[in-house]
């Protein structure tokens, strides 16, 4: 640098060049490390759509959803099976058609919490939907479910087995709801992108 005659217009580009060289040299070890990373090979991305009914049964001797925790004032609204702060554990039955006697296609295990404070029933669901038709493969929902909306959309955030790396969405419609005991049958249309 000492032997180079510089002026103010030249200094900026030459400093920039030096910086670029320094940055490239400092990146060298990282580039080497990156080339050692094991790369999984996935096939082509696939699209699968699923249609089924979920039976969420709170009543009776053999419920598929049970209250496991609730907020301080959860019992202050008699007749409301899911007041704000209620947490339910589920092993809901999934069937082909709306009737409970219809062919069972899988189960939805997980949790939902009553998350709406304004009196309109809203749940946040974290559930794994497993299907026997797909050898126990599943997709996973973690999403808000504004139950009073006629067609609501839930986010699919992952999956297992055939639905590995799944992402997508589920459109829900309430087929049946008993507002007294909370029993519900929900129609699901699910669109999945997966490998
Ligand atoms: C419970 O309800 C009472 C009376 O409405 C209220 O003062 C209190 O803040 C509530 N507590 C919780 C944890 O929501
Ligand atoms: C499920 O597994 C069986 C036995 O491994 C196989 O024959 C069948 O094709 C699989 N079905 C699906 C949908 O992956
Ligand atoms: C699901 O898709 C079927 C076929 O397109 C349609 O008839 C039904 O109304 C849809 N249901 C929901 C909840 O989106």
Nearest-CA residue for ligand 1 atom 1 is 73
The overall average pLDDT reported for the chain is 86
E strand or H helix that includes residue 1: none
Q: How far apart are CA 37 and CA 163, in angstroms?
A: 24
The pLDDT score that the predictor gives to residue 14 is 66
| Domain 46-194 of CATH type 3.30.230.80 | no
Pocket flag, ligand 1, residue 72 (CB < 6 Å) = yes
Mean pLDDT for 113-123 is: 89
Q: Delimit the CATH 2.40.480.10 region(s) of the chain.
A: 46-194
pTM over 0.95? The answer is: no
Mean pLDDT for 4-25 is: 54
Nearest-CA residue for ligand 2 atom 3 is 135
Task: Decide if pLDDT at 187 tops 70.
Answer: yes
Buried b (16+ CB within 10 A) or exposed e, 94-125: bbeeeeeeeeebbbbebbbbbbbeeeebbbbb
Selection from 156, 147, 172 nearest residue 82 by Cα: 147
The pLDDT confidence band at residue 24, using thresholds 50, 70 and 90, is low
């Amino acid at each position: 640098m000492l032997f180079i005659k510089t002026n103010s217009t030249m200094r900026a580009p030459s400093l920039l060049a030096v910086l670029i060289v320094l940055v490239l040299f400092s990146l060298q070890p990282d580039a080497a490390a990156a080339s050692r990373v094991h790369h999984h090979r996935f096939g082509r991305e696939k699209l699968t759509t699923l249609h089924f009914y979920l039976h969420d049964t709170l009543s009776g001797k053999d419920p598929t959803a049970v209250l496991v925790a609730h907020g301080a004032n959860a019992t202050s609204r008699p007749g409301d099976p899911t007041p704000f702060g209620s947490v339910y554990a589920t092993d809901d039955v999934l069937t082909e058609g709306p009737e409970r006697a219809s062919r069972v296609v899988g189960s939805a295990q997980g949790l939902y919490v009553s998350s709406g404070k304004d009196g309109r029933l809203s749940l946040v669901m974290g559930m794994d939907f497993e299907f026997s038709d797909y050898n126990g493969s599943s997709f996973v929902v973690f999403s808000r479910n504004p139950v009073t909306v006629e067609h609501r959309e839930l986010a699919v955030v992952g999956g297992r087995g055939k639905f590995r790396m799944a992402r997508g969405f589920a459109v829900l419609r309430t087929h049946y709801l008993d507002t007294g005991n909370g029993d519900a049958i929900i129609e699901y249309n699910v669109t999945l992108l997966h490998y």
